[in-house]
Structure 1
Amino acid sequence: MSQSIFLYGLIAILTGLSWFKDRQKTKKALMKAKNILVKLAPELLAILLFVGLSLSILTPETISSLIGERSGVIGVFIASFIGTFAMLPSFVVFPLADTLVSNGAGLVQVSAFIATLVSVGFASLPMERRIFGKEFTYMRNLSAMLMAFIFSFIIWVVLPWL
């Protein structure tokens, strides 16, 4: 809470300084920021709705049993499968991962989820295939999936040493 107050206060102070230095540029910047917020608002609301509904349906116990530390390799595959088909903007991935870990998900499983979510795109496969061609699209997605598993395996090996 105190971090938020600090950041909002810092933003207010810097915006005020900018306002006194050059009102026109500050007005222009604030209008751009407002327009970006308006464009992103539907996506942000959809993401908040998705995360809220997911956490209301999936209890910490369910998350822990599906992709918790004790779920092992099966949990890595489940998390990878979900990440492969989910379509979320990259800026949402890390807060969502933090929420999952806070609700009982394992770090290895969440690393597989993150890696597949940002690199493998089965939902966008038809569009990607049309733009880049079949061979490239399938090889890119397969190599991204393989790298996600390698990444998770490295986390699995290194994590006990930390």
Structure 2
Amino acid sequence: MNTVFTYWFYGLAAVLLILSFVKDKSKTLLSLKNAWKMFIGVLPQFVAILLFVGLALAVLSPETIRRMIGEETGFTGMLLTSLIGAITLIPVMIAFPIVAELLKNGAGLTQMAVFVCALTTVGSITIPVEIKYLGRKTAILRNVLVFLFSFITAYLMGVFLK
């Protein structure tokens, strides 16, 4: 079923690209050129992260992953993955394949959900910039609240996606 949707979306993207090309050839070509530049800019990070994950999965057995961040680890596993997510600075489009591989190898759904939530919302690396523009109290409060809400979101995802 997933394959059908994938092909459907590829087809839809192709049709929309053709329509865009028919409507305005120069803008479409400019957009494709910009998209290619963005892809090339992210490619080294993407390859490095995939190599790291591949190496980690080669070293860590599915049993080890299950024991550290599997569903049965409960809140402890969620806390571990949330802290890793909060301090990690990688693009989300790179995080999703990592999460998919970890899920295939025994990681828990709620543990991965809290990882993605913390990764995308908590700005522990960017907090100096937040403090500069939002003020210390607001920046810290925002980060603490989104860290806590990442657990609520992960719990709800675990309830609805199981």
Q: TM-score, normalized by length of structure 1?
A: 0.76
Unaligned runs of 5+ residues in structure 2 are none
- Bigger drift between 67-76 and 122-131 goes to 122-131
| 1:47 counterpart (42, 46, 49) | 49
Q: State the alpha-carbon separation in 2 of the partners of residues 148 and 18 from structure 1.
A: 38
Partner of 2:147: 145
Q: Which protein shows a greater Rg? A: 1
Partner of 2:116: 114
What amino acid maps onto 2:135 in structure 1? G
Q: How far is 1:116 from its partner?
A: 0.9
Aligned residues: 160
Matched-pair identity in %: 37
**Secondary structure of the structure 2 residue equivalent to 1:105:** coil
Unaligned runs of 5+ residues in structure 1 are none
Matched, 1:89 2:91: yes
Q: TM-score, normalized by length of structure 2?
A: 0.76
| 1:35 counterpart (31, 34, 37) | 37
Q: How far is 1:28 from its partner?
A: 3.4
Q: How far is 1:96 from its partner?
A: 2.1
Q: State the alpha-carbon separation in 1 of the partners of residues 146 and 122 from structure 2.
A: 6
Partner of 1:104: 106
**Secondary structure of the structure 1 residue equivalent to 2:90:** coil
Matched, 1:58 2:66: no
**Secondary structure of the structure 2 residue equivalent to 1:100:** helix
Cα RMSD after superposing both structures: 3.1
**Secondary structure of the structure 2 residue equivalent to 1:129:** helix
Deviation string, structure 1 residues 88-132 (Cα, Å, up to 9, x no partner):
212223322221110101111111111111111212222322332
Describe the shift of the 1:23–1:136 C-alpha distance in structure 2 as closer, same or farther (beyond 3 A).
closer
Describe the shift of the 1:18–1:53 C-alpha distance in structure 2 as closer, same or farther (beyond 3 A).
same
**Secondary structure of the structure 1 residue equivalent to 2:47:** helix
What amino acid maps onto 1:55 in structure 2? L
- Bigger drift between 64-73 and 45-54 goes to 45-54
- Bigger drift between 77-86 and 126-135 goes to 126-135
Q: State the alpha-carbon separation in 2 of the partners of residues 159 and 25 from structure 1.
A: 41
